[in-house]
Amino acid sequence: METTITTYALILALPLVAFVVQVFLGKRLPRGGDWLVIGAICIDLLLSLRVFFGALFFSSFAGTPFVWNLHGWLGDADTGVLALSTGIMVDNVTAMMLVVVTSCSTLIFLFSTGYMAGHPRYGLFFAYLSLFAFSMLLLVLGNNLIALFMGWELVGLSSYLLIGFLFEEPVVAPDIVPASACKKAFITNRIGDTGFLLGILTLFSFTGKIAYGDVFEAVRNGAFGDHATLLTVAGILLFCGAMAKSAQFPLHVWLPDAMAGPTPVSALIHAATMVAAGVYMVARLYPLFTPDALTFIAYTGAFTALFGATVALVMNDIKRVLAYSTISQLGYMVFGLGVGAYSAGLFHLMTHAFFKALLFLAAGSVIHAMHRAYHHAGLEWNPRSGENDAQDMRNMGGLRKAMPVTFVTTAVAVLAISGVPFTSGFLSKDMILGGAFAFGFVEYPQHFLIPVFGFAAAILTAFYMARFLIMTFLGATRVAERGQEALRESPWNMTVPLVLLAVLCGWFWYNPDPTTIFAKGWVSSFLTPPASAVPPTLVTPSADAHHVAHLTAMLVSLVCAGAGFFAAWMLDRRGAISLEHWRLSGSRVYQLLANKYYVDELYHTTVVAGMVGLSRILGWFDKVFIDGMVNATGRFQTGLSELSGLIDKFGVDGLVNGLARFVRDTGNEVRQIQTGRIQNYIVYATVGLIVLIVVTGM
Amino acid sequence: MANILSWLTFLPLVGMAVILIIPTRLWKNSELVRYVALGTTLGCFALAAWLFFAFDRSSSGMQFVENADWIPYFSIRYTLGVDGLSILMVLLTQIIGVVGVIASWNINKAVKGYFTLYLLLQTGMTGVFCALDFVLFYVFWEVMLLPMYFLIGIWGGPRKEYAAIKFFLYTLLGSVLMLLAILALYLNMQAPSFSIIAMADPANFRADGWLVRNMPTWFFDLTPKELVWLAFFVGFAIKIPAFPFHTWLPDAHVEAPTAISVILAGILLKMGTYGILRVNFPILPAETVHFATFIAVIAVINIVYGALCAMAQKDLKSLVAYSSISHMGYVMLGMVSWHSEAGLNGAVLQMFNHGTITAMLFLLVGVVYDRAHHRRIDGFGGLWAKVPVFSGLFVVASMAALGLPGLSGFISELLVFMGAFASHRVFAVIASSGIVLGAAYLLWTIQRVFMGPLNPAYADKDAMPEISAREVASVVPLMIIVVVLGVYPAPALNLIGPTLGSLLQTMQSAAGAAILP
């Protein structure tokens, strides 16, 4: 099934046009123009599905991706930098990403019509959503590093605008201020992007190319020559971009704060699609990563998976649990790619997009209901004391009765994220853990920590997700009594997306065999790893090792999930484990987790304070010292001129005046002689004559 | 069209003459004066548009050359011409000229005098970019200085006298050094000539002259050529402004009226880098190579130091002024990156892009100042909900300034980095921190001015009116250019490419093996 550039141009253009129209006319269109944005994304979804099914059933991109180049983009030159072109490339990975992005977007846009109803900037919200969709599609469709970077940063912009959408609110959740959360997200991402850019520059300076295929080929042909270390450095620099966007430790700090945006935003951008961009980037540039760079990636991902999960254990804010869970799950994808489980990493990207979007939308649905309950009861949230917090799970409980659809769909997602059989999450997580098992336990025992972290995170995931489900929906309700009667299931435009996403959490879409023992499903053949462009020095785990590892890993991960669920059950029913007791016991570990390892505090006292302090010092230095020198020079000049003025006045002019005065005074003195008396003159003459005689005589 | 460049240069003088003979008493509010100024600059813009289409994009040499005797006794000629290096600057001058008149519409003090000086300034600026004879160049350079002094000194803010005199003396110091350097070159010519083009050919210098013999002098053992190079460089560096000659800029900006800030940042600063590329590069290429690292160091200081200082500012205008210092650093960094054509093209494109982007920022700061009568960043808060259109424009302008892809600043900064990374890798890596710092100070400003709860001082209905149609009209043309060139930069790069290609060859052959990896 052939595709043409028209398809992709349409896919890109529709959300962009919708964005532009919305920005200018959003307020004047009926319903704030939401139909325009949703219409555009729906058409995009259909086009993407067509591309995807073409690729899946008719192998349209088998071997050769679709490539289209826009020549003369930078300039009309024939050679050199100005001859670089931009363009579009589509292969199986792109096709999958298109479907993930457009399907999540469509459902979440629909959900937003309910969630954001009545907001004064309703139309603008949809404009931003459309801009986001455009940027994300540009990111996945581009055929070169620059286009990737452009989409990358534009996604950052839309995320900035959406996190800060409620900019006038002083605080939206404990310690979360939209106005500073959006800034934090953008700047943290910029730090990663700077690394990303330096990586691009390193590649460009050695290859002179920017298109993916050209760069890979140049590297394969030895563009780096003896500078193999630089290639590793370039790979790690590129990965810095992914670390920020996909919230890997230590650049994860922006993601929990990004929950300042309205919940659909959290679902779309900060759970399902945008954060997956980093994973997509690693997959897209996979041939460039040297074994060392991949090992670095694997460790970062594995650590992040465990790190995020531990923090999620003790969070009470419903969105924060999900935020740290996202960080942890992104860690899975990243270390999956790092250990060479390429298709598994991308597969998890897809399954996670659906179940995490579902979880966030469900949280949105719950928060929506809680707000209504508090509103009905006349209770207001007190940001100081934390009373009546509609997002605090300690104020929920028993919501299953009032919100059955939300409850059932959430339960499905919880099973999926915990890796229970018959769900999509089981399939993808299992593949990653299998890869990690083969890598760390079978092939490279020195890297055993990677699978250990992975399995430990799996236990914790099951635990905190079960805790999430129990605290929110099960047990007796803790909702204020007066508000209980107002608790209601959300309207259809919010529940339908939930149901559809829950259906996408089933195993049958991905593999007819839920155990993966008999059939592998389409994913592993559809998303095959590209040939590496660097000489492989690491042995890729053999098929046998994989097979052995796969079964073992499956069993271990099942045990892990079971252990997690059991612990959560103990927590709930038996009270044998109690987080509350743990908290009250003043445990240092609990404090550490509840404060998210103090990473934010650390950055605040070092990086932020350092930068602001340095800027203050330099600002002062500039004003007092540099400008002071200029002013001092000026003052020196005026001083000099005053001095020369004085010299002129009292020296030069004084000399002239003094001479005149001397002449006058002498004249005055000498005048005294002329008395006019003849006797005096005779005396003068006589004295003069005597003097003359005496002098000449001697 | 014959003599297009003369028309372009002197049309503002015609407008000025018309303004001078308008009897102001007959017209209410001096409205006619403003329209004449607007008409004149629009006329210039139309001529520039013609120039844009008529310009031969395949030629690297001078085009539309006009050459006539002026003062034959000293071999001073009236020579005008444009090539890829100057064409963008000439176009930018005409665009900013129109925008500046629109932004000056609310000037009510001595309107006639204001626009007279404004048009004189316009002539000076266009002339500098077109002149190919050093004396002519110098005359235009000085013609530009005087109206600027009065425009700041009369129509400026509270400390206008201090700012004006500082600007004037500082620039004059540069002019004097430049004049000395010009004379040094002139005295060493084989056949007396002030032609900038002729001086670019070493064969035109006297073989027995002290310049060509180039023996080290008593002055720090520098050779005469190096001294000439430094004299030119300091003259131009003051205009850029390069660290440590930059402190006149924030003062001048803070005190100058909005339109004058726009011109100052949009065009005057470019004359510094333009001068270096027009004079230092082709006439003294070997010395330029010798001092290339020195320029790169200053460039990096400008980028990082300027950005950090910007972050410390409390006044919106001085923040934008320091951001200009930072952004002009990219121009200098790209200029001395000769491994590929990316650096030079990026530098010249950055000159144009910075002109449009910073002009937008200054226009918008002017808008908010007209309403609030102050510019303290901490004195606002939550304006987004109150004035969404203005806020949206400001955010777009800030995004352009911080180099967001899709807007023009990104392309030029990217090209600069592509060039610099190959030629000065360590400096490029240090300079890349400017990317983060730029985002930090701009977003912090947006947060403090536009986000959070609305400042009660502006809660009144009339306290902060939305941006007016006239003000939008001054910003939007620039924004369109920024978006178009951000998405599709070829129209600008095609204009400058061939000329910069041949300039690059000059530099590469001067640098010889020194720059090859």
* B430, B446, B448, B479, best to mutate vs chain A, most A CBs in 10 Å: B446
Per the CB < 8 A criterion, the answer to whether A342 and A254 are in contact is no
Tokens for A672, please give them: 């005294």
- pLDDT at residue A155, as a whole number: 92
Residue B487 contacts A, CB cutoff 8 Å: no
Residues of A within 8 A of B406 (CB-CB) are 150, 154
Tokens for A68, please give them: 């289209």
- Asked if A611 and B444 come within 8 Å (Cβ–Cβ), the reply is no
* Chain B residues 208-267 within an 8 A CB cutoff of chain A: 244, 246-248
Reported as a single tens digit per residue, the pLDDT across A415-459 is 899 888 888 888 888 888 888 888 888 778 888 888 889 888 888
- In B, minimum Cα distance to A618 occurs at B309
DSSP state of B65: E
Reported as a single tens digit per residue, the pLDDT across B222-267 is 888 899 999 999 999 999 888 888 888 888 888 889 999 999 999 9
**If we measure between CA atoms, which residue out of B394, B461, B386 comes closest to residue A120?**
B386
Q: What's the CA gap between B91 and B97, in Å, rounded?
A: 10
Reported residue count of chain A is 698
- Asked if B489 and A74 come within 8 Å (Cβ–Cβ), the reply is yes
* Chain B residues 176-195 within an 8 A CB cutoff of chain A: none
Nearest to B405 among A154, A178, A205 (CB): A154
Residue B143 contacts A, CB cutoff 8 Å: no
Residues of B within 8 A of A208 (CB-CB) are 340
Residues of A within 8 A of B493 (CB-CB) are 74-75, 82
- Asked if B404 and A157 come within 8 Å (Cβ–Cβ), the reply is yes
The position carrying tokens 């203005």 is B390
Per DSSP bridges, beta strands B63-71 and A66-70 are unpaired
Residues of B within 8 A of A619 (CB-CB) are 308-309, 311-313
Angle at A6 between CA A11 and CA A525, to 5 degrees: 70
Residues of A within 8 A of B414 (CB-CB) are 146, 197
Q: How far is B46 from chain A (nearest CA, A)?
A: 25
- pLDDT at residue A2, as a whole number: 66
Q: What's the CA gap between B51 and B9, in Å, rounded?
A: 13
**If we measure between CA atoms, which residue out of A453, A459, A432 comes closest to residue A348?**
A432
Q: How far is A114 from chain B (nearest CA, A)?
A: 23
Tokens for A165, please give them: 């959408």
Nearest to A82 among B248, B313, B493 (CB): B493
B279 — pLDDT class (breaks 50, 70, 90): very high
Residues of A within 8 A of B170 (CB-CB) are 630
Reported residue count of chain B is 517
Per run of 10 residues, the mean pLDDT along chain A (length 698 residues) is 80 91 84 87 91 84 82 80 86 90 89 85 90 92 91 91 86 81 90 92 88 88 80 91 90 87 84 86 90 90 91 86 91 88 88 90 88 81 75 81 88 89 86 84 82 88 87 79 78 86 85 75 81 64 63 82 80 64 76 82 85 87 86 87 88 87 90 83 90 86
Tokens for A653, please give them: 């002019």
Residues of B within 8 A of A202 (CB-CB) are 421
Q: What's the CA gap between B78 and B83, in Å, rounded?
A: 17
- Asked if A190 and B447 come within 8 Å (Cβ–Cβ), the reply is no
- pLDDT at residue A545, as a whole number: 61
Tokens for A217, please give them: 């080929």
Per the CB < 8 A criterion, the answer to whether A432 and A332 are in contact is yes
- In B, minimum Cα distance to A188 occurs at B436
- Asked if A170 and B433 come within 8 Å (Cβ–Cβ), the reply is no
Angle at B86 between CA B81 and CA B91, to 5 degrees: 100
Q: Where are the alpha helices (DSSP H) in B209-291?
A: 210-213, 224-239, 248-255, 258-263, 269-275, 281-283, 285-290
Nearest to A74 among B246, B405, B493 (CB): B493
Paired residues of B341 in beta bridges:
none
Per the CB < 8 A criterion, the answer to whether B341 and B501 are in contact is yes
Nearest to A72 among B166, B312, B490 (CB): B490
Nearest to B435 among A75, A82, A190 (CB): A190
Residues of A within 8 A of B439 (CB-CB) are 186-187, 190
- Alpha-carbon distances, residue A554 vs A330, A343, A510, B244 (angstroms): 20, 17, 17, 65
Reported as a single tens digit per residue, the pLDDT across B72-88 is 898 899 999 999 899 99
- SS3 assignment, position B195: strand
Q: Within a 10 A sphere around the Cβ of B351, how many other Cβ atoms? A: 29
Q: What's the CA gap between A178 and A186, in Å, rounded?
A: 12
Residue B417 contacts A, CB cutoff 8 Å: yes
Per the CB < 8 A criterion, the answer to whether A158 and A84 are in contact is no
Q: What's the CA gap between B455 and B385, in Å, rounded?
A: 11
- Asked if B311 and A619 come within 8 Å (Cβ–Cβ), the reply is yes
DSSP state of B517: -
Helices (H) and strands (E) in chain A, counts: 29, 2
- In B, minimum Cα distance to A183 occurs at B443
Q: What's the CA gap between B269 and B254, in Å, rounded?
A: 15
- pLDDT at residue B47, as a whole number: 93
Q: How far is B439 from chain A (nearest CA, A)?
A: 6
Per the CB < 8 A criterion, the answer to whether A151 and B368 are in contact is no
Residue B424 contacts A, CB cutoff 8 Å: no
- Asked if B446 and A614 come within 8 Å (Cβ–Cβ), the reply is no
Q: What's the CA gap between B150 and B124, in Å, rounded?
A: 14
Q: How far is A554 from chain B (nearest CA, A)?
A: 44
Residue B215 CB-density burial (10 A; 0-12 exposed, 13-18 middle, 19+ buried): exposed
Per DSSP bridges, beta strands B76-82 and B63-71 are antiparallel
Paired residues of B66 in beta bridges:
B80
- Asked if A183 and B447 come within 8 Å (Cβ–Cβ), the reply is yes
Q: What is the dihedral of CA B194, B200, B204, B208, to 10 degrees?
A: 100
Residue B88 contacts A, CB cutoff 8 Å: no
Reported as a single tens digit per residue, the pLDDT across B105-159 is 988 888 888 999 999 999 999 999 999 999 999 999 999 888 999 999 889 888 8
- In B, minimum Cα distance to A148 occurs at B405
pLDDT at B102 exceeding the cut of 90: yes
- In B, minimum Cα distance to A614 occurs at B308
Residue A692 CB-density burial (10 A; 0-12 exposed, 13-18 middle, 19+ buried): exposed
Nearest to B406 among A75, A154, A187 (CB): A154
User: Quick one: CA dihedral B134, B135, B136, B138, positive or negative?
Assistant: positive
Q: What values do phi and psi take at A210, rounded to 5? A: -125, -25
Nearest to B447 among A73, A180, A627 (CB): A180
3-state secondary structure A482-549: HHHCCCCCCCHHHHHHHHHHHHCCEHHHCCCCCCCCCCCCCHHHHCCCCCCCCCCCCCCCCHHHHHHH
- SS3 assignment, position A379: coil
Residue B162 contacts A, CB cutoff 8 Å: no
Reported as a single tens digit per residue, the pLDDT across A452-483 is 898 888 888 988 888 888 888 887 777 777 77
Nearest to B312 among A183, A191, A615 (CB): A615
- Asked if A204 and B311 come within 8 Å (Cβ–Cβ), the reply is no
- pLDDT at residue B517, as a whole number: 40
Residues of A within 8 A of B440 (CB-CB) are 187, 190, 611
- Alpha-carbon distances, residue B39 vs A607, B93, B97 (angstroms): 52, 15, 11
Nearest to A168 among B385, B446, B489 (CB): B385
Per DSSP bridges, beta strands A86-90 and B63-71 are unpaired
Reported as a single tens digit per residue, the pLDDT across B345-389 is 999 999 999 999 999 999 999 999 988 888 888 888 888 888 889
Indicate left, alpha or beta for B381 from its phi (over 0: left) and psi (-120 to 50: alpha).
Answer: left
**How many residue contacts between A and B have a Cβ separation below 8 Å?**
152
* B309, B339, B485, best to mutate vs chain A, most A CBs in 10 Å: B309
Nearest to A76 among B436, B446, B494 (CB): B494
Question: How many Cα atoms sit within 13 Å of B71 on the Cβ side?
Answer: 10
3-state secondary structure A315-362: CCEHHHHHHHHHHHHHHHHHHHHHCCCHHHHHHHHHHHHHHHHHHHHH
- In B, minimum Cα distance to A202 occurs at B421
Question: What is the model's pTM?
Answer: 0.90
- In A, minimum Cα distance to B305 occurs at A618
- Asked if A618 and B432 come within 8 Å (Cβ–Cβ), the reply is no
- From the centroid of its chain, how far is CA B127? 14
- Asked if A619 and B312 come within 8 Å (Cβ–Cβ), the reply is yes
Reported as a single tens digit per residue, the pLDDT across B8-22 is 999 999 999 998 888
Tokens for A559, please give them: 């045990």
- In B, minimum Cα distance to A613 occurs at B312
The position carrying tokens 């600043």 is B409
The enclosing H or E element of B79 equals strand B76-82
- pLDDT at residue A578, as a whole number: 66
Q: What's the CA gap between B34 and B30, in Å, rounded?
A: 7
- pLDDT at residue B516, as a whole number: 44
